[in-house]
Amino acid sequence: MALDVSELKKMAAEEAVELYVKDGMTVGLGTGSTARYAIDAIGRLVSEDGYHLKCVATSEQSAEQARRLGLEVLELADVKGIDVTIDGADEVDPSMNLIKGLGGALLREKIVAAATLTEVIIVDDSKLVDVLGSKVSLPVEVVRFGHEHTAYALKRQGCTPVLRMKDGAPFVTDTGNYIYDCAFGPIERPYFLETAIDSIPGVVENGLFLNRVEEVLVAGSEGSVYRFSERRHRSRPDSCTSSRTPFGPDVHNVSSFYRTSV
């Protein structure tokens, strides 16, 4: 019997915490529905197992949850670095590149990821795609001043930018900015697009997380958690030239390919 999505998210989160969080670490707390389960599990390490952990949150929402659980939450400026961050993603491609930001915390998530030694992503298998942008729009965080002109510049890059709304008003990030959700469709050249977007005046950050991830743990609908970094490195042919599927031209179904037991 297939598990529901919330059960899969919880499985991946708890597996990541068990594998990667050790006593004495400084831990980055992700944001979103999957990361919430990881924060719960980290809280139990402190309250039940006596772990001593320092935490840095990627959003005010995650910081509030952590404090309720008795976790010590510090500002990023108050730590020398972060040992591990456990966070979710909205899409994951075969190279472990991501789209993030549907939870509205992409700027802080990317800053924390850059300060992290080991970035671990937890997802259910519905988030796996062959090409980024296949299922979700790309979030782009922009300053409020002149945001309409920034949106026009984004549109000229080939997308349909939609200002994110909440309760009838523009959604405002923790850092006081707006977000445009940009429907590009499949993004064949993500590094090129990242550079093009970041060059637009008014853009603060975009939701492409490229070459930033150490591991992705995937919860499959059949009830197992898989990690694929070792399988990915072992299976990638030397002659591979495909930009769509770095495992080789014959690999088309990423959902089945990723299944290697933890």
Looking at the annotation, which residues are catalytic? 109
Place of tokens 């995937």: 218
Which residues contact residue 48 at a Cβ distance below 8 angstroms, ignoring those fewer than 6 apart? none
In 3D space, the residue among 137, 122, 120, 105 whose CA is nearest the CA of residue 34 turns out to be 122
| 198 membership: H or E segment, kind and range | helix 190-198
Contact indicator for 21, 52 with CB cutoff of 8 Å: no
Terminal Cα-to-Cα distance of the chain (whole angstroms) = 21
Q: Which residues contact 66 (CB under 8 A, 6 or more apart)?
A: 29, 39, 42, 43, 55, 57, 73
Q: Is 235 exposed, middle or buried (0-12, 13-18, 19+ CB in 10 A)?
A: middle
Q: What angle do CA 9, 10, 14 make, to 5 degrees?
A: 120
